[in-house]
């Protein structure tokens, strides 16, 4: 865009290290509306939803600002944005995301970043954009597409009404009394995992809302359907604009007919606020590591166990990976020139641990992308994005550097953004 400067930086070239992989993007602008974007031709119908996310930082010292917008172009443009101000510098990488839902037809989805005009250069990495099955997941067009359980309420608000601003876009949802949910039929029959994420908060400036994000895979079976569920429970959420991201992934060993995503408010707590609900199928299996891990591979000397109860991030169990120098992975086979993003939650099971989440093409010594982390007890999200060349499987998983690390909600999915890792380097 006019007035915009864009670079790709490698590690060691600036005070900022790439969030993932060897390089990150850096942009600044002198003109309003300046920035970078990428268009993807998609036949968009009313109700279709797209979610974009990335990691951003002020490149070097300072506290810059940046806006991520998903535009639906062709016809009357529809957009949703998330602005961050006072973004930390150096290596204070911060997640950003937005979801847009079409109310009419469009031809193109545009993922765009606008740095603050005349502000410091902003770093961008791990850019992901994909279709979400959850329609109106941003509640930006009111309560459309959501069902409310008996005795429950769903109210949507814009900024400046309740003491909370939307996490993204124009509005957010407030849930009381019963679950709000969406259910859709999988055709002909699903055999994939589904992962969901959402941002949640407590109404007003109170602290204390709680509840669950639930993903269910439903098999029609007379007289009662078989429901395989995974859920992320949360309590004592902060209010104001302190939105918390939660994730859950469900796996089924049976073919299923329907998928449901639910936001369940806890009884006796303030209204539960929700925004940016994203639900999508994933390319890996046993993504939630809930009770079974036999589809995960181990490379010696790695060991994969399960931890339960409060040690798990969601769904009752998490994986626990150990064995320094080994790896726990799945082989993902994809068409040539596919863009893929991977996210997961990790936490130290021992007092501290370190692990590198890696995508590595079979036969290549250089990883397609990787994201290392030194961990203590709190759960941390990790993300990476890569572009697949050639027809060889990618090993996606965790390489173990020290201690035992808990892993959960391992979400491998195709992205509609090309080179989201900002490191378009072909393997040798
Ligand atoms: Ca919203
Ligand atoms: Ca789990």
311 C-alpha to center of ligand 2: Å?
Answer: 10
pLDDT over 80 at 181, yes or no: yes
Q: How confident is the model at residue 424, as a pLDDT?
A: 64
Is the pLDDT assigned to residue 306 strictly greater than 90? yes
DSSP 8-state code for residue 177: S
pLDDT at position 322 is 98
Q: Is the pLDDT assigned to residue 418 strictly greater than 80?
A: yes
**Distance from the CA of 249 to the center of ligand 2, in angstroms?**
7
Mean pLDDT confidence for 141-158 = 97
Ligand sitting nearest the alpha carbon of 159? 1
**At 426, is the pLDDT very low, low, confident or very high (cuts 50, 70, 90)?**
very low
| C-alpha 120 – ligand 1 centre gap (Å) | 27
Q: Is the peptide bond before 81 cis (omega within 30 degrees of 0)?
A: no
pLDDT over 60 (residue 425): no
Residue-wise pLDDT for 39-68, tens only, equals 999 999 998 999 999 999 999 888 999 999
Nearest ligand, CA of residue 248? 2
Strand partners, 172: 157
Q: What is the pLDDT of residue 337?
A: 83
Give the ligand at the shortest distance from the Cα of 140: 1
Closest ligand, as measured to the CA of 230: 2
Find the 309 Cα to ligand 2 centroid distance in Å: 10
CA-CA-CA-CA torsion for 334, 336, 339, 340, nearest 10 degrees? 20
Please report which helix (H) or strand (E) contains residue 280, including its range: strand 272-282
Which residues lie across from 274 on neighbouring strands?
173, 200
- pLDDT tens digits, one per residue of 86-123: 999 999 999 999 999 999 999 999 999 999 999 999 99
DSSP codes joined into one string, 404-417: -EEEEEEEEEE-SS
**Which residues make Cβ contacts (< 8 Å) with residue 224, sequence separation at least 6?**
none
Per-residue model confidence as pLDDT tens digits over 314-325:
999 999 999 999
* Cα–ligand 1 centroid distance for 63 (angstroms): 25
Give the pTM: 0.94
CATH class, 297-414 region: mainly beta
Would you identify the CATH topology of the domain 4-132?
Jelly Rolls (2.60.120)
**pLDDT above 90: residue 222:** no
**pLDDT tens-place string over residues 380-403:** 999 999 988 777 789 999 999 999
Helix runs in 232-361, H state only: none
Question: How far is 93 from 24, CA to CA, in rounded Å?
Answer: 11
pLDDT band at 189 (very low <50, low <70, confident <90, very high): low
State the chain's mean pLDDT as an integer: 93
Rounded CA separation 99/111 (Å) = 11
The pLDDT of residue 186 is above 90: no
The Cα–Cα gap between 296 and 289 comes to: 9
Ligand with the closest atom to the CA of 172 = 1
* Domain ranges for the chain: 4-132, 147-281, 297-414
Per the CB < 8 A criterion, the answer to whether 104 and 123 are in contact is no
Domains 4-132 and 297-414 share a fold: yes
38: its two tokens: 């990428």
Ligand 1 centroid to Cα of residue 169, in Å, is 4
pLDDT at 5: 85
- The Cα–Cα gap between 130 and 197 comes to 13
Q: Are strands 339-348 and 327-332 parallel, antiparallel or unpaired?
A: unpaired
Ligand 1 geometric centre to CA of 172 (Å): 4
Ligand that lies nearest to the alpha carbon of residue 231, given by its number in the listed order: 2
Percent of the chain predicted with pLDDT > 70: 98
- Is the CATH code 2.40.30.30 the one for domain 147-281? no
Please report where in the chains the tokens 């999988």 appear, as a residue. Answer: 186
- Å from CA of 79 to ligand 1 middle: 11
Q: How far is CA 272 from CA 104, 181, 269, in A?
A: 30, 14, 8
The pLDDT, as a whole number, for residue 128 is 97
pLDDT tier, 188 (very low <50, low <70, confident <90, very high otherwise):
low
- Which ligand has the shortest distance to the CA of 174? 1
CA 28 to ligand 1 centroid distance, Å:
26
Over residues 171-192, mean pLDDT:
90
Measure 97 CA to ligand 1 centroid, in angstroms.
10
111 CA distance to ligand 1 middle (Å): 17
- Asked if 126 and 55 touch (Cβ cutoff 8 Å), the reply is yes
Order the strands of the 64-73 sheet from edge to edge. Answer: 36-44, 106-115, 64-73, 78-87
Which distant-in-sequence residues (6+ apart) come within 8 Å of 200 by Cβ? 209, 211, 213, 234, 237, 243, 244, 246, 263, 272, 273, 274, 275
Instruction: For residue 139, report the distance from its CA to the centre of ligand 1, in Å.
Output: 5
Distance 30 CA to ligand 2 centre (A): 46
Q: What DSSP assignment string belongs to 44-81?
A: E-TT-EEEEEEEEEESSSS-EEEEEEEEEESSS-EEEE
Ligand nearest to the CA of 81: 1
Least confident of 158-172, 276-290, 349-363, 414-428: 414-428
pLDDT of 195 > 50? The answer is: yes
Q: Which ligand is nearest to the CA of 97?
A: 1
Q: How confident is the model at residue 7 (pLDDT cuts 50, 70, 90)?
A: confident
Residue-wise pLDDT for 247-259, tens only, equals 999 998 788 999 9
Which ligand is the nearest neighbour of the Cα of 411? Answer: 2
Residue bearing the bigger pLDDT, 14 or 137: 137
CA–CA dist 369, 22 (Å, integer): 8
Over residues 156-166, the mean pLDDT reads 97
Q: What percent of the chain is modeled with pLDDT above 90?
A: 83
Say whether pLDDT at 309 is over 90. yes
Q: Give the number of other CB atoms < 10 A from CB of residue 188.
A: 7
CA–centroid distance, 99 to ligand 2, in Å, is 25
| 427 and 332 Cβ atoms separated by less than 8 Å | no
């Amino acid at each position: 865009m006019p007035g915009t400067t864009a670079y790709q930086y490698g590690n060691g070239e600036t005070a900022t290290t790439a969030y993932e992989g060897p390089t990150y993007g850096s942009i600044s602008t002198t003109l309003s509306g300046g920035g970078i974007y990428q268009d993807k031709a998609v036949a968009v119908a009313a109700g279709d939803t797209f979610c974009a996310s990335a990691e951003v930082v002020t490149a070097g010292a300072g506290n810059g600002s940046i806006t991520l917008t998903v535009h639906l172009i062709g016809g009357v443009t529809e957009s949703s944005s998330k602005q961050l101000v006072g973004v930390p510098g150096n290596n204070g990488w911060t997640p950003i995301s937005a979801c847009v839902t079409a109310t009419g037809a469009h031809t193109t989805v545009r993922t765009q970043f606008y740095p603050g005009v005349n502000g410091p250069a902003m770093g961008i990495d791990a850019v992901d954009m994909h279709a979400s099955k959850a329609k109106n997941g941003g509640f930006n067009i009111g309560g459309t597409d959501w069902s409310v359980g008996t005795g429950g309420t769903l109210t949507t608000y814009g900024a400046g009404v309740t003491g909370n601003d939307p996490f993204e876009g124009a509005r957010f949802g407030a849930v009381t009394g019963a679950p709000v949910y969406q259910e859709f039929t999988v055709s002909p029959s699903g055999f994939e995992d589904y992962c969901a994420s959402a941002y949640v908060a407590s109404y007003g400036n109170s602290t204390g809302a709680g509840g669950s994000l639930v993903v269910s895979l439903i098999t029609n079976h007379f007289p009662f359907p078989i429901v395989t569920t995974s859920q992320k429970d949360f309590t004592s959420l902060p209010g104001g604009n302190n939105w918390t991201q939660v994730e859950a992934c469900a796996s089924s060993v049976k073919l299923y007919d329907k998928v449901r995503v639910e936001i369940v408010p806890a009884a006796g707590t303030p209204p539960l606020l929700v925004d940016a609900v994203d639900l999508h199928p994933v390319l890996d299996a046993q993504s939630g590591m809930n009770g079974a891990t036999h589809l995960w591979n181990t490379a010696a000397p790695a060991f994969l166990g399960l931890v339960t109860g409060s040690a798990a991030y969601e769904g009752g169990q998490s994986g626990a990976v150990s064995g320094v120098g080994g790896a726990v992975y799945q082989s993902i086979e994809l068409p040539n020139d596919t863009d893929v993003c991977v996210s997961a939650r990790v936490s130290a099971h021992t007092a501290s641990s370190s692990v590198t989440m890696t995508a590595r093409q079979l036969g290549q010594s250089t990883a397609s992308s990787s994201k290392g982390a030194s961990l203590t007890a709190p759960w941390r999200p990790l993300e990476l994005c890569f572009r697949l060349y050639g027809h060889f499987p990618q090993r996606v998983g965790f390489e173990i550097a020290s201690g035992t690390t808990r892993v959960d909600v391992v979400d491998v999915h195709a992205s509609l953004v090309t080179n989201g890792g900002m490191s378009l380097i072909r393997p040798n």
